[in-house]
Amino acid sequence: MSSKLERAQLLTKTAVFDQLSKEDCQMLAPVFKDRQLADGEVLCREGDPGDYLAVVVLGSLLVEVDREDEGETVVATVGAREVVGEMSCLDPLPRSATVRAKGATKVLILTRNMLDSLKVNAPKLFSRVVRGIAYRLAGRLDETNHLISKLVQKKREPTQPRQPSLREMRKSSATGRPVKERVKLSPTGVMEGLSDDEREVLRTAMEPRRYGPRETVCLEKEPAPEAYFVADGEVDVVKTIGGKSYLLATATTGGCLGQRALLREGTRSATLRTGSNGATLLCLSRDRFDALLEAESSLAIGFQEAVTIAGVRQLRQANAMAAYLGAREEKGKFHRPLSSGRHKQPPLSQPVGERLKEAVDPKLQESDDIEALASAYLNTALEDWDLTPSELDKIEVITGDGEMSAAEKKARNKK
């Protein structure tokens, strides 16, 4: 498939790129490279550097992982007009699986370098490609979170101080009051690294609102048309599990909540409620963010990429969580979700059970409530992309007694 027109036609029917117009696909087609694979030939190997995605033109690919006590195991098959490796194309990390051809197979390759070139030379097209990847990630997150939810429902519910019911939080719903004075956008959290001018551009596109103590900003399962930046105060993330409400996290000044709303339509996966002193929020609607993207604002495009990369990393965590819970369900013991083999895996690929115990309390046993609480916490954070990696440092993981554990405090005090 060397014809530009043939490539463009394929892309219009391919996940990730099917959101693009025919004209966009025609512009994008020349940046792909053809590659032919013989039966059994490896496209990429687990542990190898990952910096490209592949679109299957003809044939199919087998996705294999190296599991302890099981060896190479096929976990998925990728067919024609499907994509593999889109996460590494945006956020290069060692491959988490080996991908090989099942029969003679043809693929189109899009490298990270070519994507970077688009960012410089065709920023609007780059933005639309990133949005396509974001849509794809959101769909995969929904599937993974559905699996996590099914597994979590079989575990004991977490115990912690009672939170208001969904009905009570609905009664305290508020739209916020306009703020006339200038609201400062703190250079912390997701704003860290932005220049004063860039923050000013973003601030002018936002609507500042003041919420009183214990007011509900938005309810889970409601439409999500905007994201929220915490200018001051605190915002609690509350999730309903089995008809009961649990406090899962608290975002502070500099935090950003609901970023996925900027990338695609959807509903809230959790309720946001202000703390005891209220909060001032800067609200950015999807319409205004789209206008910034259409204007080829480098700030908006960069922010879109950052949010999507956050989603990539969180999907990796969700996949590890689902694998871990699935193994626990099958074997009733701690089990490494994916063996690292001879390659050293990055931190996100560490055994999930160990990570969670370190984050909350290393003294907790396998049968304790950490699994249900941590799973529900990740489910909320991942599904809505409410928390970026930089913002995770500002989140308080709530233990059963409502206090941070000694391990959590120790970790936060490290320089």
112 closest CA partner among 165, 186, 52, 57: 52
377 closest CA partner among 140, 160, 138: 160
Per-residue confidence (pLDDT) for residue 400, from 0 to 100: 36
Whole-number Å distance between alpha carbons of 101 and 77? 10
Q: What percent helix, strand, coil does the chain show, rounded to 5?
A: 40, 25, 35
Whole-number Å distance between alpha carbons of 282 and 357? 35
Per-residue confidence (pLDDT) for residue 189, from 0 to 100: 66
List of residues 6+ apart from 181 with CB closer than 8 A: none
Counting residues of the chain whose pLDDT is more than 70, the rounded percentage is 71
Instruction: Output the six-digit token pair for 139.
Output: 């769909």
For domain 4-121, give its CATH number from 3.40.30.10, 2.30.33.40, 2.60.120.10, 3.40.50.720.
2.60.120.10
At 206, the pLDDT band (50, 70, 90 cuts) reads very high
Evaluate if residue 74 carries a pLDDT over 80. Answer: yes
Q: What is the CA radius of gyration of the chain?
A: 22
346-355 mean pLDDT: 41
Instruction: Output the six-digit token pair for 78.
Output: 């990728």
Evaluate if residue 18 carries a pLDDT over 80. Answer: yes
Query: What is the Cα 241 distance to its own chain's centre?
Result: 21
Q: Which residue's structure tokens are 């502070």?
A: 252
Instruction: Provide the sign of the torsion angle of the four alpha carbons 352, 358, 359, 365, taken in this order.
Output: positive
At 349, the pLDDT band (50, 70, 90 cuts) reads very low
215 closest CA partner among 235, 245, 243: 235
Whole-number Å distance between alpha carbons of 58 and 16? 17
63, 76 Cβ separation under 8 angstroms: yes
Kindly report, as residue ranges, where domains of CATH 2.60.120.10 are found in the chain: 4-121, 166-412
- In order of 207, 311, 355, 399, 406, the CA distances from 317 in angstroms are 33, 10, 11, 20, 24
What's this model's pTM, rounded to 2 decimal places? 0.72
Whole-number Å distance between alpha carbons of 228 and 215? 15
Instruction: Name the burial class of residue 223, with classes exposed (0-12), middle (13-18) and buried (19+) by CB atoms within 10 angstroms of its CB.
Output: exposed
Whole-number Å distance between alpha carbons of 295 and 369? 48
Per-residue confidence (pLDDT) for residue 235, from 0 to 100: 93
At 95, the pLDDT band (50, 70, 90 cuts) reads confident
CATH hierarchy code of domain 166-412: 2.60.120.10
254, 201 Cβ separation under 8 angstroms: no
Instruction: Specify the higher pLDDT residue, 321 or 82.
Output: 82
At 295, the pLDDT band (50, 70, 90 cuts) reads confident
Type of residue numbered 108: L
Q: Which residues pair with 33 in a beta bridge?
A: 109
53, 110 Cβ separation under 8 angstroms: yes
Evaluate if residue 65 carries a pLDDT over 70. Answer: yes
List of residues 6+ apart from 117 with CB closer than 8 A: 31
Instruction: Provide the sign of the torsion angle of the four alpha carbons 319, 320, 324, 330, taken in this order.
Output: positive
347-366 mean pLDDT: 46
Output DSSP code: residue 261: G
pLDDT tens track for 116-167: 899 999 999 999 999 898 888 878 877 877 777 676 655 545 555 567 887 8
Mean pLDDT of the chain: 76
105, 48 Cβ separation under 8 angstroms: no
Evaluate if residue 406 carries a pLDDT over 50. Answer: no
Q: Which residues pair with 173 in a beta bridge?
A: 216
pLDDT tens track for 250-269: 888 888 888 888 888 888 88
Instruction: Specify the higher pLDDT residue, 219 or 140.
Output: 219
Q: Which of 63-67, 157-161, 187-191, 213-217 has the highest mean pLDDT?
A: 213-217
**Which H or E run includes 407?**
helix 406-412
Evaluate if residue 113 carries a pLDDT over 50. Answer: yes
At 38, the pLDDT band (50, 70, 90 cuts) reads very high
Per-residue confidence (pLDDT) for residue 13, from 0 to 100: 93
